[in-house]
């Protein structure tokens, strides 16, 4: 859908494709629905640096290792940003090693800023279960400057 930072296609279900005179992309939500098409099955094609997870962690002096994001919702679709929580393991990285677990955090993050901050990814992808709709395949990503907006009680 996005190639080299340029929007190439929209998520289109049968209704929106017909309105725009285009072919659907297979992103419809089961009827009846009030939702626009949702691109659930996105894939990050990365041509930059790839490295093992341990190598990515070893490059972090002080940071966080997030094992999963949860309860993620769009904040602003015109300037793509999301908010949500960490889940199932958030760990402090110190001097290139995971040192201890920490409490979950809420995040509010521009997707454009996040994608632009990626330094490297793992060559392999891991199956990540999602809360409502199945699962996703995702690499481990080394990104700098991710915006955590507040703490949680758990």
Quick: pLDDT tens for 82-125.
Answer: 999 998 889 999 999 999 999 999 999 999 899 999 999 999 98
Quick: pLDDT tens for 67-79.
Answer: 988 888 889 878 8
| Beta strand extents in 14-96 (DSSP E only) | 62-66, 69-76, 81-86, 90-94
Contact 98, 57 (CB under 8 A): yes
Taking alpha carbons only, the member of 42, 17, 13, 16 closest to residue 30 is 13
Taking alpha carbons only, the member of 94, 138, 91 closest to residue 118 is 138
Contact 83, 73 (CB under 8 A): yes
Q: Kindly list the domain boundaries of the chain, sorted by start residue.
A: 1-42, 53-151
- Chain-centroid distance, C-alpha 73: 11
Q: Which two tokens stand for residue 65?
A: 């290792």
For residue 146, pLDDT beyond 80: yes
């Amino acid at each position: 859908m996005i190639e080299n930072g340029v929007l190439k296609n929209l998520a289109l279900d049968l209704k929106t494709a017909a309105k725009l005179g285009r072919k659907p992309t297979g992103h419809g939500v089961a009827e009846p629905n009030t939702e626009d098409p949702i691109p659930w099955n996105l894939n990050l094609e990365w041509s930059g640096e790839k490295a093992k997870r341990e190598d990515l962690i070893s490059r972090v002096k002080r940071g966080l290792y997030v094992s999963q994001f949860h309860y993620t919702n769009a904040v602003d679709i015109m300037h793509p940003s999301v908010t949500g929580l960490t889940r199932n393991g958030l760990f402090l990285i110190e001097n290139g090693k995971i040192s201890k677990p920490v409490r979950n955090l809420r995040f509010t993050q521009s997707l454009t800023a996040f994608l632009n901050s990626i330094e490297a990814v793992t060559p392999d992808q891991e199956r990540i279960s999602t809360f409502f709709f199945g699962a996703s395949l995702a690499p481990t990503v080394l990104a700098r400057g991710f915006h955590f907006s507040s703490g949680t009680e758990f």
